[in-house]
Amino acid sequence: MERNSTVSSASTVSPASDSPAAGPTFRASRFLRIAAWVSFVLNATIIATGGAVRLTGSGLGCPTWPLCTAGSLVPTDELSYHSLIEFGNRTISGPLLVFAILVAILSWRIRAVRRDLFTLSVVVLVLVLVQALVGGVIVWLHLNANLVSFHYIVSLVLVCLTAAYIARMYEAPGARERAVPKPFAILTHITTFVMAILVVVGVLTTGAGPHSGDADIQRHGLDASILAHVHAWPGYISFALVAVLFGWAITRELRPRRWTAALLGLLIVQIIVGVYQSRSGLPPLAVGVHMVLASLTAATMTIVVLRLKRPVAANG
């Protein structure tokens, strides 16, 4: 009895009313829904603020970690505006961690019916903690370019995971079955792989360019101009693949059709921003927009993959 009341405080599980063959529906509590959305927004926001740190050369605005200076948690008067930018980025880590913990606690309370959500919440919480430690090590090592790149990729993964949590949160619990033709699913996974290459090459390209976090740091030694051309190819291939997925999903009225449309739109904007920034001398604002859009594009791709399956209808 006590366990049931605990579960119901975070969710509602009831038979579906729209179909006699449908399985149980799951409705997360309003508190959990809000917490999950805030967690997603914060993880996307910290990519924007982290980008601001890199694009303004403020990576060492706070020269120590976890304090800003050796004797102060916050920036002191003698520090520059770079310190405020870096400290602002660090400040977001606090509520980000709080909401990761909150979502994990609420998910633990419904783990009996939604083990998938609980698992996702734990992975997110662990990665948030890892991110905080990596951020500290980056400062201690004076912005090692490889670690900075890793830092961004983990942030992007967190955006994808929190988006996946939200997508699954609105679906019924239990087993899932493929909702699209097998060739469509295969093409979707190929597209995901190409887009992963696109992200990695893009991160390396940014790390080789002028916006690596501080003017004096040691970069990884790769040629930024060559990487920019290499980066373009998986971008165009991704666009072509997503265009095929979109056309296929629309004509066959497949489950991921709305999300393939969103993905195609984001990729078009990404390509436009990418071409503009490469031909305009990498203006910081355009680079920052490109970084944030990359995370949102990856999150949308994640949801497209999740929409390949649907909850299995109960028998009878």
CB-neighbour burial class of residue 156 (10 A; exposed 0-12, middle 13-18, buried 19+): buried
Q: What is the pLDDT of residues 194-250, one digit of tens each?
A: 999 999 998 888 777 655 544 555 455 666 778 777 888 999 999 999 999 999 999
Q: Which residues contact 99 (CB under 8 A, 6 or more apart)?
A: 35, 38, 39, 42
- What pLDDT, in 10s, does the model give residues 29-78? 899 999 999 999 999 999 999 888 888 877 778 888 888 877 788 877 66
Residues of the chain by 3-state class (helix, strand, coil), percent to 5: 70, 5, 25
Question: What's the CA gap between 220 and 53, in Å, rounded?
Answer: 19
Tokens 């080789």 -> residue: 208
pTM of the shown model? 0.86
pLDDT at 84: 84
Identify the weakest region by mean pLDDT among 3-17, 258-272, 285-299: 3-17
Q: Report d(CA 144, CA 154) in Å as an integer.
A: 16
| For residue 66, cis peptide bond before it (omega within 30 degrees of 0) | yes
CA atoms within 13 A on the CB side of 27: 5
pLDDT tens digit sequence for 258-270: 999 999 999 999 9
Rounded distance, CA 153 to CA 133, Å?
A: 15
